[in-house]
Copies of this chain bind each other. A is one copy, B any other.
Amino acid sequence: MPNPPRPHGVRHGARGQARREEIVRAAMEVIAERGYRGASLAAVAEKVGLTQQGLLHYFPSKEDLLIAVLTMRDEWDRGDRVSSDGNPMTVAQTVGVVEANAHRSAIIRTFSALLGESVTEDHPAEPYFRERYRRVRGEMAATLRAQWGDRLPSGLTPEEVAPLVVAIMDGLQFQWLHDPEGVDMPASFRAFLRLIDPEALA
């Protein structure tokens, strides 16, 4: 048995890995334009100079491609926590993330579209967002606790405020995508931080 395992999928070489990343980036663009349901494999394939069937050589199904997109975002999330080393982000770093997002409308559009779709029945991205929210709320609570302890200046606990920070980020993104001129996402986020702590300049 020279070729036993290879349990699932096709083995890809180094060149294949580069191709896969190229495909995932193209998929994010198409999803930003038409959502996941509206995104056709053919449209993604065309962006990287393949036929739809050639694309299926790298990702055996459309859902596999979606999972690769979500996985890539997880890796970026880890990259955003630059300080890494296990410590929670600082509040100042969250401002940096919002500012960076304001220059990446395509990516924000991709994940806002996916977030919206994911509330529909049996959507393949639903488990991802459910778990992601759970994790992000926990991380945000840790960030708040590192900055202010068990009680924020308002008297609220980190666990009470964490969902609000997450909600503000998501909610501002939708308003900003619909009216980039009329909504200043980083400024609004900083205003929100002033609600949390009028003293902090963050």
Residue numbers of A with Cβ under 8 A of B are 32-35, 37-38, 109, 112-121, 126, 129-130, 133-134, 137, 154-156, 160-161, 163-164, 166-172, 174-175, 177-179, 182-183, 188, 191-192, 194-196, 198
Q: Which of B32, B112, B114, B154 contacts A195 (CB 8 A)?
A: B154
| Contact B32–A120 (Cβ < 8 Å) | yes
| Contact A174–B119 (Cβ < 8 Å) | yes
A172–B133 Cα gap in the complex (Å)? 11
| Contact A195–B156 (Cβ < 8 Å) | yes
Knowing A129-B178, A178-B130, say if A112 contacts B116 (CB, 8 Å).
yes
**Closest B-chain residue to A152, C-beta based?**
B195
Residue of A133, A167, A191 most packed against chain B (CB within 10 A): A167
| Contact A164–B195 (Cβ < 8 Å) | yes
| Contact B116–A154 (Cβ < 8 Å) | no
Pick the 3 closest A-B CB pairs, nearest first: A116-B116, A167-B171, A171-B171
A92 to chain B, nearest CB (A): 19
| Contact B174–A188 (Cβ < 8 Å) | no
A164–B182 Cα gap in the complex (Å)? 13
Residue of A114, A117, A120 most packed against chain B (CB within 10 A): A120
A182–B112 Cα gap in the complex (Å)? 21
A159–B109 Cα gap in the complex (Å)? 25
A97 to chain B, nearest CB (A): 15
A12 to chain B, nearest CB (A): 30
Inter-chain contacts of A160 with B (CB < 8 A):
188, 191
Inter-chain contacts of A172 with B (CB < 8 A):
163-164, 167
